[in-house]
Amino acid sequence: MKDTVDSYVTEDGRTIGGVMMDMRGITLRFGGVEAIKDISFDIREGEIRAIIGPNGAGKSSMLNVISGFYHPQEGEVWFRGEKRPPMKPYQVARQGIARTFQNIALFEGMSVLDNIMTGRLTHMKSGMLAQALWMGKAEREETENREAVERIIDFLEIQAIRKTPVSRLPYGLKKRVELARALAAEPKLLLLDEPMAGMNVEEKEDMSRYILDVNDEFGTTVALIEHDMGVVMDISDRVVVMDYGRKIGDGTPSEVRNNQDVIDAYLGVAHD
Amino acid sequence: MSADFLYGIEVVINGLMAGVMYALVALGFVLIFKASGIFNYAQGVMALFAALTLVGVMEGQVPFSHLINAVFGTEIHHFGWTVPAFAAILVTLGVMIFFAWAVHTFVFRHLVGQEPIILFMATIGLAYFLEGVGDLMWGSDIKTLAVGLPQGGSLFVEDLTAGLGGDDFYGFFIDKLDMVATLVAIVLVAALIGFAQYTKQGRAMRAVADDHQAALSVGISLNYIWVLVWSLAGLVALVAGVMWGAKSGVQFSLSLIALKALPVLMLGGFTSIPGAIVGGLIIGVGEKLFEYMIGPMIGGATENWFAYVLALIFLVFRPQGLFGEKIIERV
């Protein structure tokens, strides 16, 4: 079993490292409703980890726990070998965990470039005064940040819309800009909440390719929620399956595909 | 050129300068409204409080002296020193930043996500609270603010323009203080825009104004930004307080100038810094010209209501103001 070794090399030659994020016995309640019931799983360095499950399974809630938007009543979150105290989302972001949202949360009033620049905020160190006066260090920093942003713009092939206000973009491109902003932070862990929702086949293929390339070229660990089973099975290394707040499966795509509980959850099964 | 025409020009120039003074107050409103959706009724009182504090610090007044004397039976009023204007302005700025922090930490932090009307009510409470504190700290007498700003009409401009319209035209009367205020306002606005556009904090501020959730996800602390925004509003209040205080003395009716900022905002839009400036200028010029041309026909004193009527007309035809963001509800 892969879980017992520290690191391994995948069939396509990528190295998967030790455990980066370890969720232990997470339980999340909203009033009397248990959105997540005692779930444990881990995310390893360098892998693409998918969380799947039917609607209302608690996938987004899980992502929100990881990114600090929700705080679980029970359970522990371990990041890079350390137990994480309850954190605000901005603190989580500063730890190197970037995310996108199911319903796209971009700064609609800003240009594409400005949006992506906000992703660099955690990398900007110069003091307010130095920046206001545009002094040496601040200037160098600004140049570096601009370069990093331009690399990402090239990478995601959105040069043509750099100066366009985000509010004018079509849905598919907005999704891509949101990914760009998350990447601009050079995250250790990238969380994607349904990156392909509402896209056509071609857009989905593009997005899959970008996710694979990000993982491959930058070595970014990716955890994603996705409904399209075909995509999930194609691009992920391991898959967690949730249903009604419980974990019903965890393993490689082929293991999960053959798991009876998972098949039942997706196809529906007559309970006696 | 006829003297009448020249006099009209003088009215316009003076109107523009009065408009700058209105815009200074309106700016503070825009900053807070844009970043946090709070319509800060207390902005005018903040200007008053800043001016009171500045005078108090400069003259070495003991804060809360009446209270202290009443409780302990002492007779202290002054420390016996005076503080130079520049140092006093820095101290006052410190007080305004502390005030910003306190307002956010004790009031608005707990009201995040509440209805706008509740936030508005909170600022009304804040306005009266701050007025009371200002009274208690520094006393309610009218004070003169002498930070070394020039006063009176500019002889230079008067000499320069005298004789333009014949012998009976004595030249433009332009208040030196108004000219300084205009310069200060230009510098302030340039600095604010530069700050918002080119610094890390400014970028974060715009991000928070746009989308809280997205701002959090890129590592921005909302609380920090809100304190920053209230501090900036405090700075603008200080500048407005100094200018208005130097013009008409530091008195409690100063807080009423906030009301003049309302029509300015309705014209310019609540979310636009350039809007606040242009709105202020239009109101300033509009009311002076109206008073000059129409005023005598209808008995004068039109400056009291002209701005509000203009704002009403704007509300009917362009509710988002000249530069405000159009409110489109997506279905």
A205 in a structural domain? no
User: Tokens at residue A233, please?
Assistant: 């099975």
My answer on whether A166 and A116 are in the same domain is yes
Say what the ipTM of the complex is: 0.86
Pairing of strands A48-52, A15-16: unpaired
Which B residues in the span 182-201 are in contact with A, Cβ-Cβ below 8 Å?
A: 191, 194-195, 198-201
Contacts of A67 in chain B (CB under 8 A): 217
A82 in a structural domain? yes
pLDDT the model gives residue A159:
93
B249-296 pLDDT per residue, tens: 898 888 877 778 889 998 988 888 888 899 999 999 999 999 998 888
Asked if the Cβ–Cβ distance from A67 to B222 is below 8 Å, we say: no
What is the CATH classification number for the domain harbouring A85? Answer: 3.40.50.300
My answer on whether A167 and A246 are in the same domain is no
A244 in a structural domain? yes
My answer on whether A72 and A102 are in the same domain is no
A195 in a structural domain? no
My answer on whether A2 and A79 are in the same domain is yes
Pairing of strands A48-52, A221-225: parallel
Q: How many Cβ pairs within 8 Å bridge chains A and B?
A: 85
A2 has a pLDDT exceeding 70: no
B72-131 pLDDT per residue, tens: 888 888 888 889 989 999 999 999 999 999 999 999 999 988 888 999 999 999 999 999
Mean per-residue pLDDT, A154-183: 94
Q: H or E segment at A249?
A: strand A246-251
pLDDT the model gives residue A44:
94
Sign of the dihedral through C-alpha B250, B254, B255, B261: negative
A206 in a structural domain? no
My answer on whether A137 and A163 are in the same domain is yes
Asked if the Cβ–Cβ distance from B210 to A117 is below 8 Å, we say: no
Q: Of B48-62, B165-179, B256-270, B309-323, which gets the smallest average pLDDT? A: B165-179
Asked if the Cβ–Cβ distance from B221 to A67 is below 8 Å, we say: no
Give the one of A93, A101, A117 whose C-beta lies nearest to B219's C-beta.
A93
A11 has a pLDDT exceeding 80: no
Asked if the Cβ–Cβ distance from A69 to B216 is below 8 Å, we say: yes
pTM for this prediction: 0.85
A40-50 pLDDT per residue, tens: 999 999 999 99
Q: Is B113 on the interface with A (CB under 8 A)?
A: no
Q: Of B9-13, B161-165, B185-189, which gets the smallest average pLDDT? A: B161-165
My answer on whether A133 and A149 are in the same domain is yes
CA distance B73 to chain A (A): 46
Q: CA-CA distances (angstroms) from residue B294 to B267, B300, B301, B302? A: 21, 8, 10, 9
pLDDT the model gives residue B241:
92
My answer on whether A103 and A141 are in the same domain is yes
My answer on whether A80 and A119 are in the same domain is no
My answer on whether A233 and A263 are in the same domain is yes
Asked if the Cβ–Cβ distance from B200 to A90 is below 8 Å, we say: no
Which residue reads 């991000």 in tokens? B207
A249 in a structural domain? yes
Q: Which residues form the domain of A10?
A: 1-92+221-272
* DSSP code per residue over B187-223: HHHHHHHHHHHHSHHHHHHHHHHH-HHHHHHTT--HH
Beta carbons of A48 and A224 less than 8 angstroms apart: yes
Which A residues in the span 99-138 are in contact with B, Cβ-Cβ below 8 Å?
A: 99, 101, 105-110, 114, 117-119, 121-122, 124, 126, 128, 131-132, 134
Which A residues in the span 43-102 are in contact with B, Cβ-Cβ below 8 Å?
A: 67, 69, 88-91, 93-94, 98-99, 101
A167 in a structural domain? yes
pLDDT the model gives residue A113:
94
My answer on whether A84 and A25 are in the same domain is yes
Rounded to whole angstroms, the Cα distance separating B283 from B263 reads 8
My answer on whether A117 and A156 are in the same domain is yes
- Name B201's Cβ contacts closer than 8 Å, sequence gap at least 6: A128, A131, B195, B225, B228
* pLDDT top residue among A220 and B77: A220
Spell out the SS3 assignment of A34-62. Answer: EEEEEEEEEEECCCEEEEECCCCCCHHHH
What are the backbone angles phi and psi of residue A240, rounded to the nearest 5°?
-100, 135
A199 in a structural domain? no
A229-266 pLDDT per residue, tens: 888 889 999 999 999 999 999 999 989 988 888 888 87
Contacts of B213 in chain A (CB under 8 A): 69, 101, 105
pLDDT the model gives residue B168:
66
Number of independent structural domains in chain A: 2
B22-57 pLDDT per residue, tens: 898 898 899 888 888 889 999 999 999 999 999 999
What is the four-CA torsion angle of A79, A84, A86, A87, rounded to 10 degrees? Answer: -60
Could you give all domains of chain B from N- to C-terminal order, each with its CATH number?
Answer: 3-317 (1.10.3470)
